[in-house]
Amino acid sequence: MSHPEPAPAPAGLRRLAFGGDYNPEQWPEEVWHEDARLMREAGVTMVSVGIFSWALLEPDPGRYDFGWLDRLLDLLHVNGVRADLGTPTVVPPAWFYRAHPEALPVGKDGVRYAFGARGAICHSSTAYREAAAGITEQLARRYANHPALAMWHVHNEYGVPVSACYCDSCAAHFRRWLTARHGSADAVNEAWGTAFWGQRYRSLDEIEPPRTAPTVGNPAQQLDYARFADATMRENFTAERDILHRLSPGIPVTTNFMTALSQCESVDYWAWGREVDLVTNDHYLITDGRRTHVNLAMAADLTRSVAGGAPWLLLEHSTSGVNWQPRNPAKRPGEMARNSLAHIARGSEGAMFFQWRQSRRGAEKFHSAMVPHAGTDSRVWREVSALGADLGLLEGVRGTRTVADVAMLWDWQSWWAQSLDWRPSEDHDARERADTFYASLYDHHLTVDFAHPDADLSAYPLVVVPALYLATEETGRNLRRYVERGGTLVVSYFSGIVDADDAVHPGPYPGALRDVLGLTVEEFSPLLAGGTVRLTTPEGAPQGPGLTGDVWSDVIVPRGAETCWSYADGVPAGRPAITRNRLGEGTAWYISTRLSGPDLDAVLDRALADARIAPRTSLARDVEAVRRTGESGSYLFLINHTGTAAEVPLETPGTELLTGERAGKECTVPAGAVRVVRLDG
């Protein structure tokens, strides 16, 4: 599908962004001049500055030192580099904590964290809120009209390293939040099901955060606390943003997300995406042996979706290895450019890095940078400069939008709910299902938009629902409407089970999705560790390959749905395993066990046929074809993650922008390379 309105380029970016986090306070000023020269040499257009600079900017309470930042911004400006200027509110100075120790956050176990790292913040602390507003206001007043200012970078990665604080101020704040959400103690008792285990509250004053308890805490209380913690961080973000909007009008305000990292699961980015002027994202390859480029594509698609399809910006990734994973391999030659261009293909308006110059001291001195410890006579530097030059050839893609083929539903709140304790199987992992379904769509060469379960899905021929445990009645109606009007839906097990309060929908499972799927589930029957179930196609049904599932099985009663595969063994032997329900103009598939790889592909092939999506057989595995389109034209990004050259047939001829060569009936993409064809017409 294509997004209708033409995309305005984010006001602050006048070119594709290329640069990184720049922390000159770690270096003597003569190095800054060397930095500026190298930035020009590499084609850097923007750097993020001041993110961790509070202690330098306000060395004593109420005494400010802006001299160094004035000189730095002036230096950037004369060198044609623009600034993504941070509000340094992720690390208040040591003196602040001396005066306000209560602003340090408290863990679930009641232990208060210490100063000495970063991100030690109780977001309910009045002292913190006042101090953050104060420094933000000072910066906005001083730099609103600085010619180098491109955009504002509020805070850093809300949600990590502390996702929630359990202190007494947060307890009081939580009670106020509960009053706004539920109204009264009786309503909370009802929503949380406190009749179970005798947890009834007479008044909201008796309610505490879900701190460490003897056994499993109330699940609905935990879910509400996750919502509260997310909303509290968002309050602090919007408070800073509003100051910046007031004092620095016209300059976009962002905060860097980490959309697809499971470490950052505590942030509901659907809500955050609506609050920022430009969605920005940080993405680091998880080098655990999985296909990292698939996770990268997923992160980029999710970020674009959080931005409502509009252009967004990759604000951080790495030139080579990171230093916070168990093992941190260097990137292979060409990999950094491929990563960068893969983000741009999926909607990023540039490629930025953490960080410009590799630190000599501190926790991240072994994290790669644009200027590595090895200096400029190094592969990393040569690749950085080459990428800067390449981006200069791609200016046309700015403001265009990535074209998606299908949608996948994703909801952080559902993820929070199904990650709570005492579920039918600890082997079920919602994030794993999303990753696996995404990988299958990726292997079908389909570009994926992510959608909130209540979003309008009518533009997509296929919608995939990997694991949507929490699904409201409204979501059920939305999916039913989508199918009735001709959509093809694919739903995996343990979806549609509870409402927004984690209460099981009345009647048999899957409450919210019974109608659309045309079945009920009498019982779940998760498998023992390592167990598998075999699936076969029943007599009379279209024949298909035998499949193997693991982790889960359901005891299904069809109520209108046809059985496409049934269980050959296990508790539900002889009963339906994979079903297809024709409803109105469309079709809804249900997969009641965990399928992966070719087994999942085989079922998705059938669903894709229902959705009339033709297989893209001309592309080899791990060769991506992604299109961005807009007023300036249509750009086909061909990304070859394999070790052999790929010949990609073109429907429309065009000009390859990185080589300047004409591309006629096909385009050759060398091993590990990227080609960007501006299609004629």
Active site residue ranges: 157, 316
Minimum Å gap between C-beta 174 and Zn ion is 9
Is 564 part of any known ligand binding site? no
The nearer residue to ligand GLA, 364 or 622, going by C-beta atoms, is 364
Q: Which does 322 bind (CB under 5 to 8 A by kind): ligand GLA, Zn ion, none?
A: ligand GLA
Round to whole Å and give the CA distance between 60 and 507: 62
Q: Which does 157 bind (CB under 5 to 8 A by kind): ligand GLA, Zn ion, none?
A: ligand GLA
Minimum Å gap between C-beta 44 and ligand GLA is 18
The nearer residue to ligand GLA, 232 or 281, going by C-beta atoms, is 281
Q: Which does 419 bind (CB under 5 to 8 A by kind): ligand GLA, Zn ion, none?
A: none
The nearer residue to ligand GLA, 367 or 627, going by C-beta atoms, is 367
> Footprint of ligand GLA on residues 303-342 (CB under 6 A)?
316, 322, 324
Minimum Å gap between C-beta 300 and ligand GLA is 15
From the CB of residue 17, how many other CB atoms can be counted at a distance below 10 Å? Answer: 29
3-class DSSP string for 497-546:
CECCCCCECCCCECHHHHHHHCEEEEEECCCCCCCEEEEECCCCCCCCCC
Minimum Å gap between C-beta 358 and ligand GLA is 11
- Of 45, 53, 87, 124, the residue at the interface with Zn ion (CB under 5 A) is 124
- Asked if residue 257 lies in contact with residue 281, where contact means CB atoms within 8 angstroms, the answer is yes
Query: Distance between terminal CA atoms of the chain?
Result: 19
Report CA-CA distances (Å) from 292 to 286, 346, 592: 6, 16, 28
The nearer residue to ligand GLA, 212 or 323, going by C-beta atoms, is 323
Q: 187: which residues sit within 8 A by CB, 6+ positions away?
A: none
From the CB of residue 102, how many other CB atoms can be counted at a distance below 10 Å? Answer: 18
The nearer residue to Zn ion, 170 or 607, going by C-beta atoms, is 170
Minimum Å gap between C-beta 354 and ligand GLA is 4
- Of 51, 72, 104, 122, the residue at the interface with Zn ion (CB under 5 A) is 122
Residue with tokens 């640069």: 19
Round to whole Å and give the CA distance between 67 and 57: 9
Is 667 part of any known ligand binding site? no
Is 118 part of any known ligand binding site? yes
Round to whole Å and give the CA distance between 321 and 296: 15
> Footprint of Zn ion on residues 160-199 (CB under 5 A)?
165, 167, 170
- Asked if residue 566 lies in contact with residue 593, where contact means CB atoms within 8 angstroms, the answer is no
- Of 282, 335, 449, 550, the residue at the interface with ligand GLA (CB under 6 A) is 282
The nearer residue to ligand GLA, 261 or 462, going by C-beta atoms, is 261
Is 79 part of any known ligand binding site? no
> Footprint of ligand GLA on residues 331-390 (CB under 6 A)?
354, 364, 367
Report CA-CA distances (Å) from 142 to 57, 66, 563: 12, 9, 67
3-class DSSP string for 553-574:
CEEEEECCCEEEEEECCCCCCC
- Asked if residue 367 lies in contact with residue 355, where contact means CB atoms within 8 angstroms, the answer is yes
> Footprint of ligand GLA on residues 106-165 (CB under 6 A)?
156-157
From the CB of residue 329, how many other CB atoms can be counted at a distance below 10 Å? Answer: 11
- Binding-site residues for substrate, in ranges, read 118, 156, 324
Binding site for ligand GLA (CB under 6 A): 156-157, 282, 316, 322, 324, 354, 364, 367
- Contacting positions for Zn ion (CB under 5 A): 122, 124, 165, 167, 170
Binding site as annotated, residues:
118, 122, 156, 165, 167, 170, 324
